[in-house]
Amino acid sequence: MSLTMAILMLVGMWLSVAAAMLWGVMRIVRRHSQHHLPPQVQPKPAPVRRIRRHAGAH
């Protein structure tokens, strides 16, 4: 095998591994993205009215 062929094979293998890694990352990102769901708006809770009492520390 000539040196040129070995270098071309190394570059080709590097490109195939890089493409496979990119495909895997894109697959994970697509699975975990939540862009297709509308944002959920939660209603504000009603304020709690507290009963005022005298301090019992006397």
The answer to whether position 54 is within a domain reads no
Q: Taking CA 32 as the corner, what is the angle to CA 28 and CA 34, rounded to the nearest 5 degrees?
A: 145
Q: Domain tally for the chain?
A: 1
Segments forming the whole domain that contains residue 12: 1-30
Assessment of whether the complete model's pTM goes beyond 0.75: no
The answer to whether position 50 is within a domain reads no
The answer to whether position 5 is within a domain reads yes
Polymer length in residues for the chain = 58
Which residue do the tokens 């209603």 mark?
Answer: 43
> What tens-digit pLDDT sequence spans the chain (58 residues)?
899 999 999 999 999 999 999 999 999 998 887 666 666 777 787 878 878 777 777 6
If we measure between CA atoms, which residue out of 28, 6, 10 comes closest to residue 18?
10
Q: For residues 14 and 39, give the distance between their C-alpha atoms in angstroms, rounded to a whole number.
A: 41
